[in-house]
Amino acid sequence: MSIGTLYIVATPIGNLEDMTLRAVRVLREVDLIAAEDTRHSRKLLTHFGISKPLTSYFDHNKNIKGARILAKLQDGLSVALISDAGTPCISDPGYQLVRDAVASGIRVVPVPGACASTAALSASGLPTDTFLFEGFLPSKAGKRRERLAALKGEPRLLVFHEAPTRVAAALADILEILGDREMVLARELTKVYEEFLRGRVSEVLRTVEELGVKGEIVLLIAPSPEERASNQDLVPELLSRYLDGEGMFVKDAVKRVTQETGEARSRVYREALKLRK
């Protein structure tokens, strides 16, 4: 008997029109749907006329339910994993199930769609050639400040998810530790009250404190101009070291320097060609 397939299915983050045709088809065809919150997901499935068995899969039952889902896949059933909104396994439960499925030789198929972070990035107007997704900052102030301090020298655009009840405190810590950088706060993406707040951290913080914000939030924090300039200056030096000193191929040197500096690959590649000439 052949084993089943695990589908990782993205669902809308607000606007139901963002549900893809492929996602609807896959959810109609699978034998079982594993959902973060079955009550929430049942409303979505009803909207699209999908009637399939549902089982819960979330952080607190992932070990027990993961083993049961894996057994069903090994018995030949097909399973779709969905979260409450967006793409499963991105700041949502699921990676353990995918890891165990892969280890068991089970085929894992992504069905891409909505994702709050990429939606915010695409409309931010900030440089997005390289970025670092950090998910949710720690809820406790000490741990949050510790994490931000570790990111102070990070040359890439920083992407955080944040709860509305903690966003003011998070922005205050970002201002103090990372400095008054350019940023974008995106909230309620694809929903009726979708909003982008753009400006310096101090300006966005002031707006949040005065007016408040509700809904799901993505914070995009630009690199500091000094950090970005410093890393740009390092590009020729690092390329020379890897190309001439270590004898790397151009593509390998470009990959290494891109990773180390956070600079755009296209810019690093142009510098490499200059050195080669």
Question: Torsions phi, psi of 69, nearest 5?
Answer: -65, -40
Q: Collect all residues with Cβ–Cβ distance below 8 Å to 146 and sequence separation of at least 6.
A: 138
Residue 205 — very low, low, confident or very high, per pLDDT cuts 50/70/90? Answer: very high
Given this structure, which CATH class describes domain 117-222? alpha beta
**Within a 13 Å sphere around the CA of 10, how many CA atoms are in the beta-carbon half?**
22
CATH architecture of 5-114: 3-Layer(aba) Sandwich (3.40)
Please state which of the ranges 94-108, 150-164, 219-233 shows the lowest mean pLDDT: 219-233
E strands in 12-53: 32-35
- Contact predicate 105/3, CB 8 Å: yes
Q: For the segment 65-76, what is each residue's pLDDT rounded down to a tens digit?
A: 999 999 999 999
Decide: 187 and 157 in contact? Cβ < 8 Å.
Answer: no
Please, which pLDDT band fits residue 229 given cuts at 50, 70 and 90?
A: low
